[in-house]
Amino acid sequence: MADIKLSAKTRTDFGKGASRQARRDGFVPGVIYGHGTEPKHVDVEAHSLQLALRTANVLLTLDIADGGSELVIPKAVQKHPLKRSISHVDFLIVKKGEKVTVDVAIVTEGDLAPGGNMLETLQNTISVEAEATHIPTEVTVSIAGLEAGATIHAKDLVLPAGTTLAVDGDIAVLQVIGAQAEEPAAESTEA
């Protein structure tokens, strides 16, 4: 996992007007919290943040002007409903070696057994606990050759080293549904 560095500046003005002005100036308002510290209000450069957040569970180092630097992960990202631009972000402070709970995407590979079966995805992500500096970007599941009726549970997932499940292992993640028989075509009764 890459550690991305972003520059930020301490925010001293609060409220809607100040947040709108920050967005017009190319910044995203945010707050940094965690480990019992007082929340820090910051403005982060919008374009760099948008690019960094393309990677799920990205680890960020925020270099705060006149405030040192913080190792953080994005905890909550609010987007404008129409423009889809980031309007606010909450960052959680993490320490190297600390375990964090995050949602990781489930990705399938391979093909089902022949016969027209369909794969039903019951969970798109799975909650795992991993070290803050080694958060996996995805968990890959092989569905090669699975027959109708097969189910893959959370405990069946192969997780990277140092990563553990943060949910019940009996939760169904994927299942294979058998092909539906087609109704026979109605015979024509022309005389």
Q: What is the pLDDT of residues 39-56, one digit of tens each?
A: 888 888 888 888 888 877
Using CA atoms, how far residue 25 sits from 22, 44, 46, 132, 162, in Å, is 5, 11, 9, 32, 41
Cα 63 to the center of its chain, rounded Å = 23
Segment (H or E) for 127: strand 125-131
Single residue among 94, 118, 135 that ends a domain in this structure: 94
Domain identity same for 37 and 105? no
Single residue among 69, 94, 119 that ends a domain in this structure: 94
Position with higher pLDDT, 115 vs 7: 7
The domain total for the chain is 2
Q: What is the pLDDT of residues 70-112, one digit of tens each?
A: 888 888 888 888 888 888 898 888 888 888 888 888 898 888 7
pLDDT band per the 50, 70, 90 thresholds, residue 1: low
What mean pLDDT, rounded, does the chain reach? 83
pLDDT band per the 50, 70, 90 thresholds, residue 146: confident
Instruction: Assess if residue 183 is contained within a domain.
Output: no
Torsion angle, alpha carbons of 66, 35, 52, 90, to 10 = -90
Single residue among 94, 119, 140 that ends a domain in this structure: 94
Domain identity same for 58 and 129? no
Range of the domain at 167: 100-177
Segment (H or E) for 51: helix 46-52
Report the alpha-carbon distance of residue 100 to residue 166 in Å, rounded: 10
pLDDT at 183: 59
> Which CATH number fits the domain that encloses residue 104?
2.170.120.20
pLDDT at 13: 80
